[in-house]
Structure 1
Amino acid sequence: MTTSDRMTVFDRALVRRRRDRAVPNFSDHSFLFDEVAERLADRLEDVLRPFPLALDVGCHDGAMGRVLAGRKGIERLIACDLAPGFARAARGLAADEEFLPFAPNSFDLVVSNLSLHWVNDLPGALLQMRQILKPDGFFCGAMLGGDTLIELRRCLYEAEMAVSGGVSPRVSPFAEIKDAGGLLQRAGFALPVVDSDTLTVTYADAFALMRELRGMAESNAVLARRKIPATRGLLFDAARRYAELYAEPDGRIPVTFQILYLAGWSPHDSQQQPLKPGSGEIPLGQALKNGNGSLS
């Protein structure tokens, strides 16, 4: 990747500070990380091979390490996180996802649980993770997708338009599923697979949701955000709209978290290879005929 390819969207120093501040009370807000760690581990159970040496990139408080303990033949798991506080909590080391301090061909497995959506150079980070895998090593990660917080995004947008007559980024942008597979291919992963699911959580009101996001260290960190806090009027208007548009019969509001799951292999000669164009032994017309199809 050249310098001109790089996009700087997030304030990474702010992300690090917020993660460090979240450490003492993170267990009160970590349900999403714990749930997705379990789902990532379930996906790994479908891979019929052991992973003696594994790396957890963006470990937070070590949820992946706890879930993977004693599973998949993992003899050693190294945890790292952008925030030194989280690195200490997970008994790992402080390391930036964009500048991983590991030698090529080091790991059998790299996992990442809800951290990569804060990376500016996502193609570069994925490339580094592929490079530090041994040949035929496996990457499995989860990140927040484009439908995450879609309700909050709408209500903040409409409230700011009404109160200020203009808008600024109030919710961080997230990757779309249609782009994720291309990112894996661009990073050189073989046999890339991307899928998603949606988790819906309810809160008493929009203010409870905002407190949860702060506790998760998932508040807006876009460089283009307004540097002054949102006014009380804007926040109350957004909360009112949220309740009017989305509240359930019991008065609680639903919140969408879309999770993208990315998986791929470090290339190896033993892996299944796609046929070269024109190398098929059966003509297309014959294949369609055998399958009771027809050309039109």
Structure 2
Amino acid sequence: MQSPPKIFDTEALAMHRQRATCGDQGDWFLHDYAIDVVQERLQEVNRTFTDPTIIGWQGAQWNKKLGLSATVIPDTDTLDLMPNSCDLIIHALSLHWSNDPVGQLVQMNRALRPDGLMIAVMFGGQTLQELRIAFAQAESRVLGGISPHIAPMGEIRDLGGLLQRAGYALPVADAIDVNLSYQTPMHLMRELRGMGETNALMQRQKSPMRRDVLSAMIDEYQSTFATPDGRVNATMEFVFLTGWAPSDTQQKPLRPGSAQSRLAQALGVAERDLESE
């Protein structure tokens, strides 16, 4: 089987993450937000999990704040998971850096016991759309072309399809947009650096950014996405993928044509014959 193309430079990503661990812990507030959402969803499930696993470079922090006593493993391309070993797997805001997200979803599905739960949190396609636009406009004006600065992130419709391809039962994909504001675009980029979320694309420009390009990007960002109080907007889209390992005990959809009553009867309205109109 042919391996998927390598989009991300894993060595650069590891270096960025190592640098981030030495910075301000406050830069990881987006992890805290995602943890709170996951905790609420686990409470809604109303089930006690005995063998949870958390995947991600900040998995230890997720484990502590969720209070799960989970096994924590890194988000390597080949996950350190044994078949049928878990009843809960949480992929902790790292799947958007995977070179093979479908492969990771499949590996997690195989590691779950029947009726086990998987929750993956990742950044979606609307994330940093303002910064992406500002860089494209600035480079087009200064250089006459553009280079990749922000990783491509999946759209929710496509990501939901990945759950089905990976064989999950009862798949659900939903997104939450978090709108942030910063004093300047540089404050945003410093915070991204502090979170270990800076450019690790294989095709990224390796040389230092030109000062005129950076200056033009800042001008574009501030002129296009400024708030009334002089700050700038930034969008973070969180995508939550939820799926269950297939089990005979789960509810199954009814077969087409198996309904015992008509929708019009249930709604108490007259049924129309569209073919005769």
Q: Does the pair score TM above 0.5?
A: yes
C-alpha contact (below 8 Å) 2:59/2:92 kept by paired residues:
no
Distance 1:35 1:59 in 2: 16
1:187 is the counterpart of 2:166: yes
2:41 to 33, 40, 43: 43
3-state SS of 1:254 partner: strand
Per-residue deviation, residues 53-82 of structure 1 (Å, max 9, x unmatched)? 11110141633212211xxxx4x3111224
| Consecutive unaligned residues in structure 2, runs of 5 or more | none
What is the Cα deviation at residue 225 of structure 1?
A: 1.7
SS of the counterpart of 1:264? strand
> Is 1:249 matched with 2:228?
yes
State the Cα distance separating 1:264 from its structure 2 match. Answer: 0.7
Q: Work out which of the residue numbers 267, 272, 276 in structure 2 matches 1:294.
A: 272
Paired positions, count: 272
* C-alpha displacement of 1:195: 0.9
Please state how far the C-alpha of 1:15 moved relative to its aligned partner: 1.1
Distance 1:270 1:246 in 2: 50
Q: Residue 158 in 1 paired to residue 137 in 2?
A: yes
Q: Per-residue CA shift, 1:4-24, capped at 9, x if unaligned?
A: 6x2322112211221122112
Which residue of 95, 107, 126 maps to 1:116?
95
CA contact (8 A) 1:139 1:263 kept: yes
What displacement does 1:278 show?
Answer: 3.5
Match of 1:77 among 66, 70, 75: 70
SS, match of residue 30 in structure 1: helix
Q: Which moved more, 1:10-19 or 1:55-64?
A: 55-64
Q: Which residue of 1 aligns with 2:29?
A: 31
Change (3 A) 1:204 1:295: farther
Equivalent residue for 1:171, pick from 139, 142, 150:
150
Distance in 1, Cα, partners of 2:198 & 2:30:
14
Q: Secondary structure at the match of 1:109?
A: strand
What's the CA shift string for 1:170-216, capped at 9, x where partnerless? 11111101112110111111001111111111111111111111111
Q: Which amino acid aligns with 2:272?
A: S
Q: Deviations over 1:212-253 (max 9, x none)?
A: 111111011111222212211101111111111111122111
Code of the residue aligned with 2:16 in structure 1: it is: R
SS at match of 1:172: coil
The separation in 1 between residues aligned to 2:46 and 2:187, in whole angstroms, is: 42
The whole-number CA distance in structure 1 between the counterparts of 2:197 and 2:141 is 26
Q: Given that residues 89 and 108 in structure 2 are in contact (C-alpha distance below 8 angstroms), is that contact kept between their aligned partners in structure 1?
A: yes
TM-score (norm 2): 0.93
TM-score of the superposition, structure 1-length normalised? Answer: 0.87
1:198-277 equivalences in 2 (<5 Å): 198-277=177-256
1:3 correspondence with 2:15: no
**Aligned partner of residue 53 in structure 2, secondary structure:** strand
Instruction: After TM superposition, give the deviation of residue 290 of structure 1 in Å.
Output: 4.6
Q: CA deviation at 1:255?
A: 0.7
Look up the equivalent residue of 2:187 and give its one-letter code.
A
From 197, 209, 217, the counterpart of 2:176: 197
Aligned residue type for 1:254: N
CA RMSD of aligned residues (A): 1.6
The runs of at least 4 consecutive aligned structure 1 residues that moved more than 6 Å come to: none
- Calculate percent identity across the aligned residue pairs: 39
Give the alignment partner of residue 14 of structure 2, picking from 13, 16, 22. Answer: 16
Contact 2:73/2:80 (<8 A) preserved: no
Conservation of the 8 A alpha-carbon contact between 2:156 and 2:175? yes
- Pair 1:54-2:52 in alignment: yes
Q: Runs of 5+ in structure 1 lacking a partner? A: 83-95
